[in-house]
Amino acid sequence: MADPDDAPRPVLSDPRLAIVVRSDDPARTAGRLQPVVDALAEAAAEAVVVVFDDDDPEALVGQVEGTDGVLVWADPLTGRGPRSALDSVLETIAGTGVWVSADPRVIDKIGTKDVLVTTRHLSWGSDTHRYPTLRDLRQEFPARLAASGTRVVKADRGNGGSGVWKVSLLHEGDGCGTAAGSAEVMVQHARQRDDTHVLTTLDEFMAGCAPVFVAWGGSGHLVDQPYAPRIAEGLVRCYLVQGTVVGFALQDPPATSPVATDKGTPRPAVLGVPSPKTMVAPDHPDFSALRRRLEDEWVPALRDGLDVSPEELPLLWDVDLIRGTPTESDPDPFVLCEINASSVIPFPPEAPAALATAARQRLHSIVRGVGTRPPRSGARSAGRDVGP
């Protein structure tokens, strides 16, 4: 009798994937994803772009019917609000046996600002805290602001700088280790792509955060971290396909001159870093040490700490880092700013081919594991007529 282990493995010869897009400009997003479609075609994988309709979310189930995998580019927030409805439908689709990347449950772990808190013990971490409620913010934030002088407050979900504020205490605390509610603060919103800021009181700032806590069905919240002064030097964005670095981007802020405000307060440098990205190849020698730290230290520790398997990592994601203060033990440190796993655009030229290869490998591993491919029904996918 033949050994079952010697039986031929099933082969997925013609994988089909749907690329789901949700953004304020889906046609533009789809156009920017054409290199991904082309790379999948080169890898003998058919891909079709499907635009998610917030007015009819359940339609997505039919639009991706007959596909083996769904790749998602969806901003956390658009003019239509959060992506809650999309995430619910994606979970339904994943339950039918279709591979979804990135799975909403994985995004909840690594693609929200909560990752700043859950990985603060790593060498990229900082004194970061989570505020589940407005009451927690009022009770805990004043003391931390008094201790730091400046902190960056972030909504748990957002994109394009939405829900991110730099808060600076203009005068010392009250001598009791905290800042009074009437204390004057300078607030700069990262969404403003310049050095615009407002002067207000700490109480007024915290009261203005109230809408964050009612977002996402009441699960919205804030995190904060100390201000990293070397943000003035820009960000280093590290692109990964699952656990492998596929490139970097340097995002340098434009030069800004310190200009005194009417109260003599230095005007802050641009917080949103609104500058073009300079793409850098993954094997550039200047980034070899950073690449090793990502692949060998930070990403494995991230997976272990958050219980995410290598296969569950997003197909394409990025890690934004700010240069930290050098020490004797770490002469070139970095501080985690955020992780983007929802809609990574733009990306390095090396990314599409690596993504296509990883997608095929993942689909083949699924087939080998279960012995069959996900069921298909219907002569064709409804999504083939829904592209932008």
Tally of domains within the chain: 3
Same domain, 213 and 133: yes
Which CATH number goes with the domain that contains 266? Answer: 3.30.470.20
Report pLDDT for 349: 96
Instruction: Report residues of the chain scoring pLDDT below 70.
Output: 1-13, 172-176, 192-195, 253-275, 367-388
Report pLDDT for 136: 97
The closest of 71, 124, 128, 135 to 102, measured between CA atoms, is 71
Same domain, 190 and 270: no
Same domain, 336 and 235: yes
Domain carrying residue 297:
103-126+228-341
How far is C-alpha 335 from the chain's CA centre? 15
Same domain, 210 and 244: no
Same domain, 239 and 322: yes
Single out the residue in 190, 211, 227 at which a domain terminates. 227
Q: What is the pTM of this model?
A: 0.86
Same domain, 122 and 232: yes
Report pLDDT for 163: 86
Same domain, 18 and 160: no
Report pLDDT for 275: 63
Report pLDDT for 172: 66
Report pLDDT for 128: 97
Report pLDDT for 62: 94
Same domain, 232 and 121: yes
What is the spatial distance between Cα 151 and Cα 144, in angstroms, rounded to a whole number? 8
Same domain, 242 and 146: no
Same domain, 147 and 222: yes
For the chain, the three-class secondary structure string (H helix, E strand, C coil) is: CCCHHHCCCCCCCCCEEEEEEECCCHHHHHHHCHHHHHHHHHCCCEEEEEECCCCCCCHHHHHCCCCCEEEEEECCEECCEECHHHHHHHHHHHCCCCEEECCHHHHHHHCCCCHHHHCCCCCCCCCCEEECCHHHHHHHHHHHHHHHCEEEEEECCCCCCCCEEEEEECCCCCCCCCCCCCCEEEEEECCCCCCCCEEEEHHHHHHHCHHHHHHHHHCCCEEEEECCHHHHHCEEEEEEECCEEEEEEEECCCCCCCCECCCCCECCCCCCCCCCCEEECCCCHHHHHHHHHHHHHHHHHHHHHHCCCHHHCCCCEEEEEEECCCCCCCCCCEEEEEEECCCCCCCCCCHHHHHHHHHHHHHHHHHHHHCCCCCCCCCCCHHHHCCC
List of residues 6+ apart from 173 with CB closer than 8 A:
142, 146, 179, 180, 183
What is the spatial distance between Cα 75 and Cα 28, in angstroms, rounded to a whole number? 13
Whether 197 contacts 263, CB under 8 Å: no
Single out the residue in 208, 227, 246 at which a domain terminates. 227
Same domain, 194 and 207: yes
Whether 137 contacts 206, CB under 8 Å: yes
Report pLDDT for 257: 41
The dihedral region occupied by 218, where left means phi > 0, alpha psi between -120 and 50, and beta the remainder, is left
How far is C-alpha 280 from the chain's CA centre? 20
Same domain, 155 and 50: no
Single out the residue in 202, 227, 252 at which a domain terminates. 227
Report pLDDT for 217: 79
Report pLDDT for 365: 78
Which CATH number goes with the domain that contains 61? Answer: 3.40.50.2300
Structure tokens belonging to residue 345: 């655009």
